[in-house]
């Protein structure tokens, strides 16, 4: 397939969902060849099967090529935001977002290549922890304060940019939307560790903590240890799932 116009490129990109959350698999320089692909099968869980539909793009008559190879290393682990066509007077071009790559040429030869069969590599989030636990009741706010106090952290609660709130001042059982913050930092910060999701159903209690204050990493790490002790806990981070013991072992070894 040889693409020479904006409409041709736009139609091809649209047929392939503008490569949202796709991968830049490789970039060869001489001659320029760009291999991109997106998932056509898989559930993103760690070590599960993954199928990637692969295309090779070979431009001719290159007029503009903007790519800083210091920004990232092309691989099936590097995800891009999307690819958008650009309107130009003569030729055809596109921009890749996150990172920013721009190509303008007289034409682009597009070849569909073999499908790659691989697996989703495990990764964990530095900022988000989703907790499922067999607790019968949602922990009261005082629970987190007392447990963190055992680690030497004197915490209180607050809304975004809000003043300090004692545990008994929070609504119960739903205190979604509050932040955990060190008492001596409430007046000089806006956020903290965010309680983004908190609910109870027939399967147990479900909580999502998000660390929105990098200066709280010590508190954050200790909170992650605390949730590993909850009864019947399953912890989700990134695309990985841990039992409590597995989670605490991961926190020690990072493996």
Provide the terminal-to-terminal Cα distance of the chain, rounded to the nearest Å. Answer: 44
Average pLDDT, the chain: 93
Per-residue pLDDT tens digits for 172-227:
999 999 999 999 999 999 999 999 999 999 989 999 999 999 999 999 999 999 99
- 246 pLDDT band, cuts 50/70/90, is very high
Instruction: Based on the fold, state whether residues 164 and 243 are members of the same structural domain.
Output: yes
Co-location of 17 and 104 in the same domain: yes
Q: At which of 61, 95, 119 does a domain end?
A: 119
Q: How many domains does the chain have?
A: 2
Residues 100 and 135 in one domain: no
**CA angle at residue 86 from 83 to 88, to 5 degrees?**
160
Give the CA-trace dihedral at 150, 151, 154, 156, to 10 degrees: -90
Count CB-CB contacts under 10 A for residue 43. Answer: 10
Average pLDDT over residues 110-114: 94
Percent of the chain with pLDDT over 90: 80
H-helix or E-strand spanning residue 3: strand 2-3
Does 133 lie in the same domain as 115? no
Q: Give the span between the Cα atoms of 83 and 15, in whole angstroms.
A: 12
Q: Which stretch of 110-124, 159-173, 177-191, 229-243 has the lowest confidence by average pLDDT?
A: 110-124
**Count of positions (residues) in the chain:** 255
Asked which of 58, 88, 119 is the last residue of a domain, the reply is 119
| Domain end (from 90, 119, 148) | 119
Q: Both 112 and 141 in a single domain?
A: no
Assess contact for 216 and 192: CB atoms under 8 A.
yes
Q: Are 118 and 52 in contact (CB under 8 A)?
A: yes
> Residue ranges of the alpha helices (H) in 66-158?
141-150
Q: Please tell me the predicted confidence (pLDDT) of residue 158.
A: 97
Same-domain pairing of 187 and 80: no
Structural domain that includes position 246: 128-253
Task: Indicate the pLDDT class of residue 43, thresholds 50, 70 and 90.
Answer: confident
Residue whose pair of structure tokens reads 């739903």 in the numeric block: 174
pLDDT at 102: 93
Q: Do residues 228 and 210 share a domain?
A: yes
Q: How confident is the model at residue 15 (pLDDT cuts 50, 70, 90)?
A: very high
Structural tokens at position 164: 């300090």
- Whether residue 98 is predicted with pLDDT greater than 90 in this model: the reply is no
């Amino acid at each position: 397939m040889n693409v020479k116009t904006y409409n041709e490129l736009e139609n091809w990109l649209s047929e392939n969902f503008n490569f949202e959350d796709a991968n830049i698999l490789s970039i060869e320089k001489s001659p320029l060849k760009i291999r991109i692909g997106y998932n056509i099968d898989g559930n993103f869980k760690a070590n599960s099967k993954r199928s990637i539909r692969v295309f090779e793009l070979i431009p001719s008559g290159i007029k503009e090529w903007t790519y800083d190879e210091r920004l990232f290393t092309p691989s099936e682990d590097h995800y891009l935001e999307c690819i958008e066509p650009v309107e130009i007077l003569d030729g055809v071009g596109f921009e890749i977002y996150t990172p920013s790559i721009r190509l303008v040429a007289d034409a682009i030869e597009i070849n569909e290549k073999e499908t790659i069969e691989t697996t989703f590599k495990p990764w964990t989030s530095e900022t988000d922890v989703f907790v499922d636990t067999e607790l019968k009741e949602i922990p009261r706010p005082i629970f987190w304060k007392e447990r963190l106090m055992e680690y030497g952290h004197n915490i209180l609660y607050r809304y975004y940019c809000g003043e300090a709130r004692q545990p008994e001042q929070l609504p119960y059982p739903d205190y979604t939307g509050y932040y955990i913050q060190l008492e001596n930092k409430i007046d000089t910060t806006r956020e903290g560790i965010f309680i983004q999701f908190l609910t109870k159903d027939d399967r147990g209690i479900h909580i999502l903590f998000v660390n929105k204050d990098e200066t709280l990493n010590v508190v954050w790490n200790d909170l992650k240890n605390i949730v590993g002790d909850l009864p019947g806990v399953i912890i989700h981070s990134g695309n990985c799932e841990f039992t409590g013991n597995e989670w605490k072992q991961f926190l020690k070894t990072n493996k």
